Chains A and B, each alone.
Chain A
Amino acid sequence: MANKQIMVISVMDRDRPGIVAEVTEGISTLGGNLADLRESVLCGYFTMILVASFPADVSVETVELTLAKETSSRVSVEPAQGSLTEAAGSEEVYVLSAVGRDRVGLVAQVSRFCCNRGVNVLDLASHVDADQYTMMLQLDLSGIQCLEDFKTELSTFGKTTGLNLVLQHNDIFRATNEI
Chain B
Amino acid sequence: MIRSDQILKTVEMIQKENLDVRAVTMGICLLDCRTGDAESTAQNIANKIKLLAGNFVETCDRIGGKYGVPVVNKRISVTPIAHVGAGFSREGFVRLAKALDHAATEVGIDIIGGYSANVEKGINQGDMNLIRAVPEALATTSKVCSSINAGSTRHGLNMDAVAMLGETVRAAAHQSADSNGFGAAKFVIFANQPGDNPFMAGAIHGLGEAEAVINVGVSGPGVIARALERKIEEEGAENLGLDDLAEEIKQATFRVTRCGELIGRQVAKELGLPFGVVDLSLAPTPLVGDSVGEILNILGVDDIGAPGSTAIVAMLNDAVKKGGSFASQSVGGLSGAFIPVMEDSVLADAAERGCLTLEKLEAMTCVCSVGLDMVPIPGDTDPETIAAIIADELMIGVINSKTTAARLIPVPGKAAGDFVSFGGLFGESVILPIRNTGKSSRFVKFGGRIPAPIHSLKN
Do A173 and B67 touch (CB < 8 A)? no
Bitwise, B64-76 to A at CB < 8 A (1) or not (0) is: 0111110000000
A175–B6 contact, CB under 8 A? no
**B261 CB within 8 Å of chain A:** yes
* Chain B residues near A147 (CB-CB < 8 A): 65-66
Among the listed A125, A127, A172, A178, which residue makes an inter-chain contact with B68, where contact means beta carbons less than 8 Å apart? A172
Q: Which residue from B8, B65, B67 sits with its C-beta under 8 Å from A172?
A: B67
Residues of B within 8 A of A110 (CB): none
Tell me, yes or no, whether B207 is within 8 Å of chain A by CB: no
Partner of B1, one of A134, A138, A148: A138
**What does the 1/0 interface line of A89-131 toward B look like (CB < 8 Å)?**
0000001010000000000000000000000000101010000
Q: Which of A136, A138, A167, A171 contacts B262 (CB 8 A)?
A: A171
B68:A168 contact, CB within 8 angstroms: yes
**Which of A134, A138, A171, A176 is most buried by chain B, counting CB atoms within 10 A of its CB?**
A176
Partner of A173, one of B6, B15, B66, B261: B6
In the docked arrangement, what's the CA distance between A178 and B10, Å? Answer: 12
Q: How far is the CA of A176 from the CA of B255 in the complex (A)?
A: 5
In the complex the two chains form, what is the Cα distance from A166 to B255 in whole Å?
18
Which residues of B52-89 have CB atoms within 8 Å of chain A's CB atoms? 65-69
What distance in Å separates the Cβ of A19 from its nearest Cβ neighbour in chain B?
Answer: 22
Distance, CA A174 to CA B4, complexed state (A): 13
With a CB–CB cut-off of 8 A, which chain B residues contact A178? 2
Contact with B along A143-179 (1 / 0, CB 8 A): 0000110000000000000000011110111111110
**Do residues A175 and B11 form an inter-chain contact, with CB atoms below 8 A?**
no
The CA-CA distance from A127 to B5 in the complex, in Å, is 10
Which single member of A123, A134, A169, A175 contacts B8 (CB below 8 Å)?
A: A134
Q: Answer yes or no: B370 CB below 8 A from chain A CBs.
A: no
Task: Let me know if B165 is at the binding interface, CB within 8 A.
Answer: no
Q: Measured between C-beta atoms, what is the minimum distance from B67 to chain A in Å?
A: 5
Known contacts: A175-B258, A175-B261, A176-B13. The answer to whether A169 contacts B68 by CB under 8 A is: yes
Alpha-carbon gap, A173 to B262, bound state (A) = 11
The complex places the Cα of A124 from the Cα of B65 at a distance, in Å, of: 24
In the complex, the answer to whether B259 meets A176 with C-beta atoms within 8 Å is: yes
Enumerate chain B residues within 8 angstroms of A168, measured Cβ to Cβ.
10-11, 14, 67-68
Given the interface pairs A168-B67, A172-B67, the reply to whether A177 lies near B11 with Cβ below 8 Å is no
Residues of B within 8 A of A167 (CB): 68
With A168-B11, A168-B67 as contacts: A173 and B4 at CB distance below 8 Å: no
| B7 on interface, CB distance cutoff 8 Å | yes
Contacts of A123 in B (CB 8 A): 1
B125 to chain A, nearest CB (A): 48
Q: Which of B2, B66, B254 contacts A169 (CB 8 A)?
A: B66
A127 to B254, CA, bound (A): 27
In the complex the two chains form, what is the Cα distance from A67 to B7 in whole Å? 38
- Taking Cβ atoms with an 8 Å cutoff, the residues of B that contact A are 1-2, 4, 6-8, 10-11, 13-15, 65-69, 254-255, 258-259, 261-262
Beyond A134-B8, A138-B1, A177-B6: 13 further Cβ-contacts under 8 Å? Answer: A97-B11, A125-B1, A127-B4, A166-B11, A172-B14, A172-B262, A173-B7, A175-B262, A176-B6, A176-B13, A176-B255, A176-B259, A178-B2
The 8 closest A-B pairs by CB, nearest first: A175-B258, A176-B255, A175-B262, A123-B1, A177-B6, A173-B2, A168-B68, A169-B67
The interface of chain A, by Cβ under 8 A from chain B, is 95, 97, 123, 125, 127, 134, 136, 138, 147-148, 166-169, 171-178
- 5 A-B Cβ contacts within 8 A? A125-B4, A167-B68, A169-B67, A174-B2, A176-B259
